[in-house]
């Protein structure tokens, strides 16, 4: 008997994602000028207002208001009619010094012995059903919104789009977990007010999504995945009707409220900790990236068709309290999941200080993670520019950094050797 599985994504203009992007931009700017910065930055957005709160320990000063306005403008909230606009919104900063009680348990004389920034469990997941080792329903949801965002920015084929949007995809799977077809696609996109009546407005939006956006998404996919668009897909486009009021004016946004969108769309598991606004001493973030790196390299090496890794920590302690592996009975090696976990612990050093070093997490690489998922992205070298105020006026630096290092398949050969895979 086949089954259905659904995942969703949200655009960079969704209020929760606006918050994530502001928090991560602030983090990046601190790390750009002081790589040892400790940052836990939370953001709340609502009609005409941004509130920043959290804890910072750094030897640099940055203009958080200027950074916040640049992020909002870059997303596309640059018109007064949106009731949330980059140049006019109020910004309240309640950022303060990090608690020394927390810091004393993290910092060590030897960076390799750095303690975990908190207790908790983190998960990494990978599956071979897509080229980027991500669950298909989530991958398609991200792709739909990326195409929609690009068409909004281009403004040529579709002229009425506003920044806030959501997408959801339901996949039909066979009993052996192989995608069979796309059952349902849901897209809700914010838009300008139409002069025509609501029915004509909805007809135009539905036509554009199905006939302009979806073909661009389909063209990005491998031929075997293109076949899943079988012509029997149920489409629900703006199913509630008019969607003019949106973004932070339509719904308040908070950092860290889209943790399933950020990870695996409900596949695998999640430990509950959010990522954005946190420096890598917080294992909620760094260990989740490390677990994804492990899972992806093991699946790419052929250890299993899909695989979940859990790692857990005690605050202030460097060594993880446990490592767990679940292959969902898809293992291709003659080992139990417990035996696979033992080999994982042998191959990968999961102390927080080592994770930071091996994945280059003390670099300003986080703004790019804050929309369309932290996993399944392309690792690449980019040059980024950062500003701060100094005694001599404005100081600008350029940094070449490597994004999404945890997505690299740089341990496949080591895994194959350890597991005896030819």
**CA–CA separation, 290 vs 165, rounded Å?**
30
Please determine, for residue 14, whether its predicted confidence score (pLDDT) is greater than 80.
yes
What are the angstrom distances between the C-alpha of 103 and each of 32, 97, 100, 383? Answer: 21, 11, 5, 31
258 a catalytic residue: yes
Assign 5 a pLDDT band (cuts: 50, 70, 90). very high
Beta bridge partners of 323: 311
42 a catalytic residue: yes
**CA dihedral (142, 147, 153, 157) positive or negative:** negative
Please determine, for residue 197, whether its predicted confidence score (pLDDT) is greater than 90.
no
Q: Is 413 annotated as a binding residue?
A: no
**Catalytic residue selected from 284, 326, 368, 407:** 284
pLDDT digits (tens, 9 = 90+) for 205-228: 999 999 999 999 999 999 999 999
Which whole number is the average pLDDT over 347-357? 97
**Catalytic residue selected from 5, 17, 20, 208:** 17
pLDDT digits (tens, 9 = 90+) for 292-301: 999 999 999 9
269 a catalytic residue: no
Please determine, for residue 101, whether its predicted confidence score (pLDDT) is greater than 80.
no
Q: Which CATH number fits domain 3-10+136-248: 3.40.50.670, 3.90.226.10, 3.30.300.10, 3.30.365.10?
A: 3.30.300.10
Q: Is 154 annotated as a binding residue?
A: no
Assign 393 a pLDDT band (cuts: 50, 70, 90). confident
Q: Is 257 annotated as a binding residue?
A: yes
293 a catalytic residue: no
DSSP structural state of residue 20: H
Q: Is 243 annotated as a binding residue?
A: yes
Q: Is 126 annotated as a binding residue?
A: no
**Catalytic residue selected from 146, 267, 270, 278:** 278
Which whole number is the average pLDDT over 392-418? 95
Q: Is 165 annotated as a binding residue?
A: yes
Phi, psi of 237 (to 5 degrees): -110, 120
Q: Is 242 annotated as a binding residue?
A: yes
Check: CB of residue 356 under 8 Å from CB of residue 35.
Answer: no
88 burial (CB, 10 Å; 0-12 / 13-18 / 19+) is exposed
End-to-end alpha carbon distance in the chain: 35
Confidence at residue 185, expressed as pLDDT on a 0 to 100 scale: 98
Rg (Cα) of the chain, in Å, rounded?
A: 22
Confidence at residue 326, expressed as pLDDT on a 0 to 100 scale: 98
296 a catalytic residue: no
Confidence at residue 230, expressed as pLDDT on a 0 to 100 scale: 87
Average pLDDT in the chain: 95
Confidence at residue 390, expressed as pLDDT on a 0 to 100 scale: 74
329 a catalytic residue: no
Which of 175, 180, 176 has its CA nearest to residue 136?
180
Which of 377, 371, 385, 421 has its CA nearest to residue 403?
377
Please determine, for residue 111, whether its predicted confidence score (pLDDT) is greater than 80.
no
257 a catalytic residue: yes
CATH 3.30.300.10: does it fit domain 120-127+258-270+280-381+400-419? yes
> Residue 153, Cβ neighbours under 10 Å: how many?
11
Please determine, for residue 98, whether its predicted confidence score (pLDDT) is greater than 80.
no
**CA–CA separation, 31 vs 172, rounded Å?**
43
Which whole number is the average pLDDT over 16-40? 98
Please determine, for residue 104, whether its predicted confidence score (pLDDT) is greater than 60.
no
Check: CB of residue 46 under 8 Å from CB of residue 281.
Answer: no
Check: CB of residue 278 under 8 Å from CB of residue 100.
Answer: no
Confidence at residue 202, expressed as pLDDT on a 0 to 100 scale: 94
Confidence at residue 254, expressed as pLDDT on a 0 to 100 scale: 98
DSSP structural state of residue 113: G
Which whole number is the average pLDDT over 417-422? 95
Tell me where in the chain the CATH 3.30.300.10 domain(s) lie. Answer: 3-10+136-248, 120-127+258-270+280-381+400-419
Confidence at residue 389, expressed as pLDDT on a 0 to 100 scale: 80
Check: CB of residue 378 under 8 Å from CB of residue 409.
Answer: no
Confidence at residue 162, expressed as pLDDT on a 0 to 100 scale: 98
Confidence at residue 99, expressed as pLDDT on a 0 to 100 scale: 64
3-state helix vs strand vs coil in the chain, percent to 5: 35, 25, 40
């Amino acid at each position: 008997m086949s089954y259905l599985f659904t995942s969703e994504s949200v655009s960079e203009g969704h209020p929760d994602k606006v918050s994530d992007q502001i928090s991560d931009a602030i983090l990046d700017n601190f790390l750009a000028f002081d790589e040892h910065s400790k940052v836990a930055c939370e953001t709340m957005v609502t009609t005409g207002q941004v509130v920043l709160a959290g804890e910072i320990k750094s030897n640099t000063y940055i203009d958080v208001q200027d950074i916040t306005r640049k992020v909002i403008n870059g997303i596309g909230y640059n018109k007064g009619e949106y009731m949330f606009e980059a140049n006019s919104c109020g910004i309240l900063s309640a950022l303060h010094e990090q608690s020394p009680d927390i810091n004393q348990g993290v910092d060590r004389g030897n960076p390799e012995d750095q303690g975990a920034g908190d207790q908790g469990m983190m998960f990494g997941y990978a599956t071979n059903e897509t080229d980027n080792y991500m669950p298909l329903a989530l991958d398609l949801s991200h792709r739909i919104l990326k195409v929609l965002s690009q068409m909004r920015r281009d403004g040529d084929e579709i002229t009425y789009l506003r920044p806030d949007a959501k997408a959801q995809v339901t996949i039909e799977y066979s009993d052996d977990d192989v995608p069979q077809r796309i059952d349902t696609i849901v897209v809700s996109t914010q838009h300008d007010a139409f002069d025509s009546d609501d029915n004509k407005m909805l007809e135009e939006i539905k036509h554009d999504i199905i006939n302009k956006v979806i073909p661009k998404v389909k063209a990005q996919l491998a031929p075997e995945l293109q076949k899943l668009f079988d012509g029997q897909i149920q489409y629900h486009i703006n199913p509630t009707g008019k969607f003019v009021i949106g973004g932070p004016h339509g719904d308040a946004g908070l950092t860290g409220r889209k943790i399933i969108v950020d990870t695996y769309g409900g596949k695998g598991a999640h430990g509950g900790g959010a990522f954005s606004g946190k420096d890598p001493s917080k294992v909620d973030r760094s260990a989740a990236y490390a677990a994804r790196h492990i899972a992806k390299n093991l699946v790419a090496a052929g250890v299993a068709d899909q695989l979940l890794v859990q790692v857990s920590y005690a605050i202030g302690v460097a060594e993880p309290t446990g490592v767990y592996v679940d292959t969902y009975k898809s293992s291709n090696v003659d080992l139990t999941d417990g035996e696979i976990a033992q080999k994982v612990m042998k191959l990968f050093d999961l102390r927080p200080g080592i994770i930071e070093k091996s994945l280059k997490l003390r670099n300003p690489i986080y703004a790019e993670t804050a929309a369309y998922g932290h996993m399944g992205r392309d690792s690449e070298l980019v040059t980024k520019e950062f500003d701060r105020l100094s005694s001599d006026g404005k100081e600008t630096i350029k940094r070449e950094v490597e994004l999404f290092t945890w997505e690299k398949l740089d341990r496949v050969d080591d895994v194959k050797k350890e597991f005896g895979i030819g």
